Structure 1
Amino acid sequence: MELDWSLGHYEPTGKLLLPISERVVTMSEPLVGKHIIDLGCGTGNAALLAAERGAVVTGIDPAARLLEVARKRAAERGLQVEFAAGDAASIPVGDGTADLLLSVFAVIFAPDAEAAIAEMTRATAADGLIRLTSWIPGGSMTAINRTAGQFMAEVFGGGESPDPGAATPLAWHDEAALQEAFAAHGFSVELERHSLQLKATSPEEYLEESAQHPMAVSGAQALASRSDGEELQAELHRRLLAAVRDVNEDSAAFQVSNEYAIVTARRSVA
């Protein structure tokens, strides 16, 4: 089942990831007069930054609540940004609309990567760019997601016998895999590696803030449906805290470096 990104409060995560949106938008300048699509815009980080730099921006997201948050932020800044409901498999714009299509930690969660790439390439202008970000395995993000995924598989099943006929998920951080996926649509790919440091006063505080993320809230709701839900939640918290402590780089507080990739795709020269 596809995740409902309207759950919980994505806003704290959005604030943590703002520096990455700033990097991606800055490296894409100049933007004056260009049509930018922010796919999976969430609370609007990249969309607002691009609009501030003179771009004509369309922010697209499947989560109605996040779109409202983004609209409110744009209004507070006096920015003209169009926000619309849509997802990576059905981008509500015409062919060749985007001079630049951005997706900051968004399209990587699309359930059908092949359909998402087909839509992104369709929506991008002949001389346009696609620029997306993806986490590189390691760091607190991987630790939390892997620990939570393993625990949910133990509780609800599904983790021990994967369907041998199921397609392997696209490794959005792997340049070779992306080259192959985008080449089918006449695009070539370049990849840069960067690092984001996340900080908190303690591992406990970091985990508490992470509990507001839609993925965490969705998992909590699933566990709450069980008669032993409280015990399961306590055990999951114990395991997550151990995982976060294990990757902590600051013995006096909390700090962790998360590696990520900035992927740029453009049409190949014939």
Structure 2
Amino acid sequence: MAIDWGVGRYEATGELLAPVSEVVVELAGPLTGRSVLDVGCGTGNAALAAAARGAVVTGVDPASRLLEVAAGRAAERGLEIEFVVGDAAAIPVKDQSAELVISIFAVIFAPDPAAAVAELTRVVAPDGQIIITDWLPGGALTVINGTAAKFMGEVLGGPAPKSAPASLAWHNAEALRAAFAPYGFSVEVEERSLVFEEASAEEYLEQSAQHPMAVSADRALSQRPDAEELRAELKSRLLAAAESVNEDPEGFRVTVGYTIATIRRS
């Protein structure tokens, strides 16, 4: 199932993930006058956070609609940021041009991770660093998103395309070291956590339904003659999954783990 990141309303998800961008930008150290590249910038969280700290920022994303949202947010804050359409397999910037390359839960979705690794190492400056975040497997998001993925697999069926590139465990230090070492880079990974809260599990799922992945899945279901029955079954399964990981009996709260990988030349 193809995912169009420009559909739906990723803005809602962006609001939930904003704290992670702040953490990463703060970890990167002083940014005044430094060149920063935000790969998969989405609605601009990390790009805006870096620009607010005095960085010279470029944001790249394959979804032009999200770039328009990000540019509008930058204008509201009086921040000058260059936003460019592009993806991780062909980042439209010069070699070694970014002192800091950031990707907040973005490059982890690259269809060709090997090409993404090659591009990230190409664009980072000799003394620069790459910082990538990924979700830790096995937590609440794995349960909820895995439920949706399993259901869609049951509905759509069929084997995965044989031509699909091998995935990369962007959260795993050893996997990242194996991927980046051939380019002369070392990797450090640390774990953090983020809390998602809503008034109820139902409200959380309503917000999640605006995510491009969910919208893309719904479009796929809409092609089926039994679309309404399938939607109802998916909603039921997702609600059961969300309630199974809920930490707050009076509302909805889940704590999700994520990793921050910092990658530098050895």
Q: Do they fold alike, i.e. is TM over 0.5?
A: yes
Distance 2:99 2:160 in 1: 40
The residue type equivalent to 2:142 in the other structure is T
Counterpart of 1:262 in structure 2 is 260
The residue type equivalent to 2:59 in the other structure is G
Distance 2:199 2:230 in 1: 26
Deviation string 1:105-155 (CA, Å, 9 cap, x unpaired) is 000000000000000000000000000100001333212221111111111
1:243 aligns with one of 217, 241, 244: 241
Deviation string 1:175-213 (CA, Å, 9 cap, x unpaired) is 110110011111110001000011011101101100000
Counterpart of 1:58 in structure 2 is 58
Alignment of 1:64-79 (within 5 A): 64-79=64-79
CA change 1:124–1:213 in 2 (3 A) is same
Matched, 1:27 2:30: no
Shift of 1:2: 4.2
The residue type equivalent to 1:88 in the other structure is A
Distance 1:265 1:217 in 2: 33
- Kept after mapping to 2: 8 A contact 1:143/1:243: yes
Alignment of 1:19-168 (within 5 A): 19-158=19-158, 167-168=165-166
The residue type equivalent to 1:86 in the other structure is G
- Relative to the length of structure 2, the TM-score reads 0.97
Counterpart of 1:4 in structure 2 is 4
Query: Alignment RMSD, CA only?
Result: 1.3
User: Which range is displaced more, 7-16 or 137-146?
Assistant: 137-146
Deviation string 1:88-111 (CA, Å, 9 cap, x unpaired) is 000000000000000000000000
Shift of 1:156: 1.0
Deviation string 1:17-73 (CA, Å, 9 cap, x unpaired) is 010000000111200000000000000000001001000000000001000000000
Counting aligned pairs with the same residue, the percent is 60
CA change 1:95–1:234 in 2 (3 A) is same
Instruction: Give the number of aligned pairs.
Output: 266
The residue type equivalent to 1:106 in the other structure is A
The residue type equivalent to 1:133 in the other structure is T
Distance 1:162 1:91 in 2: 27
Distance 2:96 2:165 in 1: 29
Matched, 1:218 2:216: yes
The residue type equivalent to 2:238 in the other structure is L
Shift of 1:162: 5.3
